[in-house]
Structure 1
Amino acid sequence: MYSRFFLSAAPKAAIALAIALAAFATAAPATAQQTGSINRGASGLPLPRYVSLKATKVNMRVGPGSDYSVAYRYLKNGIPMEIIQEYDNWRRVRDADGTTGWIHSSLLSGERTAIASPWREENSPDDTVILYNTPAAAAGVVAYLEPGVVGKIASCDGAWCELEVGYESRKLRGYVNQAELWGAYPDEVIK
């Protein structure tokens, strides 16, 4: 699982506004992806797009600047984030839980990572994601991944992603159905 701490509480009106803005932000990027049109941010890079956290400790702020209060603090590098907006050197991002906020671009990396089925409930009958040795459902099983496991994407062909999971001393590499990951768009090809 990835680590995130909630640092401040917001009044009910601010929470309602944040929910409304998040719903709007969620709908707009999906439409752009489905229609094939490419929106570009101030950096010239496409929006939305996935990146990952570069640093071990990253503050997510409520606005695009260090003067804004910290809403969350992430305590692990490599966590995937979806950039949905750009302002100067700040990126408005969304995490796998749907939380949005602003992170300075220097704390983000273009390295692609993904989270195994963060939307699944733990301890349900189908709570694991299978890491296969080849990109096929009939292939041999390398490992069973719990929801929330983060891995590095080596490549995706639009249906399967080659994923590396584990730590320095024990890394596993295999293939996961792309629909089971948060960090790669449906049908996206990553080389």
Structure 2
Amino acid sequence: MMNWRKILLPLSAICGLGLAAITPVRAADDDRVPYWASVDAEIANLRVGPGDSYRIDWVYRRPHLPVKVLRREGSWRLIEDPSGDKGWMRDLLLSRQRAGMVKKGGLTEMRAEGRSGAPMLWRVEPGVVGLLGECKDGWCAFDATGHKGFVREDRLWGTGAP
């Protein structure tokens, strides 16, 4: 009689290795904080603690508002907004899509290219929110509701290391 254990044990080990090879691996930085994110909802509640039972402190109505994620607690994220306010938001209300907000201090020039001598396209007011593209040599690609151009990186909140 054939000993099935001798056949099945090595076979199961080989199959297990094959499954491990095709199992998706999480990116290492999925768990690392801090990181930049943006609000990914028309209305998003910021709570004083990590759970639905905690009271709502702020209600955001600004999709793409950049936020800094400071801590993770299950499906909740401790975030900091551009004003420095902190609180807890569900991960489903956030996106890894990078965004920026024009800092206080007057109008900011949006240029056709990422350099000082490039033609100016618009002057952007403080508080304007837009999606970020690549930041290079002190300039960031910036899309404020279809108005696309380049803004100095130091004029945007949401750039650089979080």
TM-score by length of 1: 0.67
Q: Per the alignment, in what secondary structure is the counterpart of residue 134 of structure 1?
A: coil
Other-structure match for 2:25: none
Q: Quote the Cα distance in structure 2 between the aligned partners of 1:152 and 1:116.
A: 11
Q: Structure 1 residue 151: deviation in Å? A: 0.7
Q: State the percentage of identical aligned residues.
A: 28
Matched AA of 2:127:
G
Other-structure match for 1:133: 112
1:103-155 deviation line (CA, Å, top 9, x unaligned):
000110111110011x33xxxxxx10110111111211010000000011121
Report the structure number with the largest CA radius of gyration.
2
Q: Per the alignment, in what secondary structure is the counterpart of residue 47 of structure 1?
A: coil
What is the aligned-residue RMSD (CA, Å)? 1.8
Q: How many positions carry a matched residue from both structures?
A: 135
1:149-164 correspondence to structure 2 within 5 Å: 149-157=128-136, 159-164=138-143
Q: Quote the Cα distance in structure 1 between the aligned partners of 2:135 and 2:93.
A: 25
Which of 133, 156, 181 aligns to 2:156? It is 181
Q: Quote the Cα distance in structure 2 between the aligned partners of 1:110 and 1:44.
A: 10
Q: Quote the Cα distance in structure 2 between the aligned partners of 1:145 and 1:44.
A: 33
Q: Quote the Cα distance in structure 1 between the aligned partners of 2:137 and 2:76.
A: 30
TM-score by length of 2: 0.78
Unaligned residue ranges in structure 1 (runs of 5+) = 1-42, 121-126
Matched AA of 1:175:
F
Matched AA of 2:76:
W
Question: Which 4+ residue blocks in structure 1 deviate beyond 6 angstroms?
Answer: none
Unaligned residue ranges in structure 2 (runs of 5+) = 1-28
Q: Quote the Cα distance in structure 1 between the aligned partners of 2:133 and 2:151.
A: 11
Q: Structure 1 residue 173: deviation in Å? A: 1.0
